Amino acid sequence: MKEFNLIQRHFTPPTTSADTLLGVGDDAAIIQPPPHQTLAICVDTLVAGVHFPEDTHPRDIGHKALAVNLSDLAAMAATPRWATLALTLPEHDDTWLTAFAEGFHALAREHGVDLVGGDTTRGPLTITVQALGYLPPGQALRRDGAQPGDHILVTGTLGDAALALEQWDHPHPDSTLRARLTRPTPRIAAGHILRGRAHAGIDISDGLVQDLGHVLKASGVGATLQAGALPLSDAFRGAMGDTTHWRLPLAGGDDYELLFTLAEADMEPICQQLAEQGCPATVIGRIEAEPGLRILGPDGAPLTLEQGGYSHFGD
């Protein structure tokens, strides 16, 4: 397996444009960020059997490997523009690679992202994507700006992907839920609306409680969440029936929705703009000066979680 051939065959033609001066094919890519913009850079690795079920369709793996990185750029309010890809493959499988590249490229095209570099090695299936985007200086949606009195909001719905994962081996899985797991939607437009306006933001990849915890810690504040306010999809409600369902929307991973905090005065215009973009947001709680996270059930009594979220290295 010749690594350059693989990358060239499946991930070319190399792109050149005003801001991608040199793409795939040389020792390094040359990019030209727009004038007076800062670069946002992130990287994420997906390991088969850890971050996605081994029998996930390769087209979905290609989509997801890029989507989780675009979600991180959305969470910084950046505009995605470039990506690099490092693929570790157990064997040379042209059919698999063709489908993987289709999924990757379709999402890249949708967001105007150029793939500008890549590498392949042999080993257990592992995909690392680095994404680069840009934004005006000082406009990033950071984790450390939440203020007491802010409302806490999330885009979309929570818990769908985690439920799909639990039902992965079900003979007739719900296709809406499954798509939320295998083909997450990076909330780029929402990030742009929040740019320079939301006090703090993060994307929910490891579960609401864990990711909100990062915001609280970075901001030096606490919060109270209203479990009864968590946005749940019709598919989720239909599948769960009357069973208690707090664990999945609170601690299930892979939502890739944006969590952000807003001052009271910004609520109405921003929520209206998000809804107009087809990405409505829901108020789920309030930032408070007192450290720690308090979660109240619909009856006003505190809830406790057995598990705070998904942690790769445990406690």
Q: Is 72 in the site for Mg ion (CB under 5 A)?
A: yes
Residues 224, 152: Cα–Cα separation, whole Å: 9
Q: Is 255 in the site for Mg ion (CB under 5 A)?
A: no
Q: Which is nearer to Mg ion, 97 or 131 (CB)?
A: 131
Residues 121, 50: Cα–Cα separation, whole Å: 19
Closest approach of Cβ 20 to Mg ion, in Å? 25
The interface mask with Mg ion, positions 26-65, x = CB under 5 A, is ----------------------------------------
Closest approach of Cβ 3 to Mg ion, in Å? 29
At residue 257, φ and ψ (nearest 5 deg) are -95, 165
Q: Which among 66-74, 103-111, 213-221, 260-268 is the span making contact with Mg ion, rule CB under 5 A?
A: 66-74
State both tokens at 269.
């215009």
Q: Which is nearer to Mg ion, 174 or 203 (CB)?
A: 203
Q: Which is nearer to Mg ion, 161 or 239 (CB)?
A: 161
Closest approach of Cβ 73 to Mg ion, in Å? 9
Q: Is 254 in the site for Mg ion (CB under 5 A)?
A: no
- 151-210 residues in contact with Mg ion (CB under 5 A) are 203
Residues lying near Mg ion in the complex (CB under 5 A): 72, 203
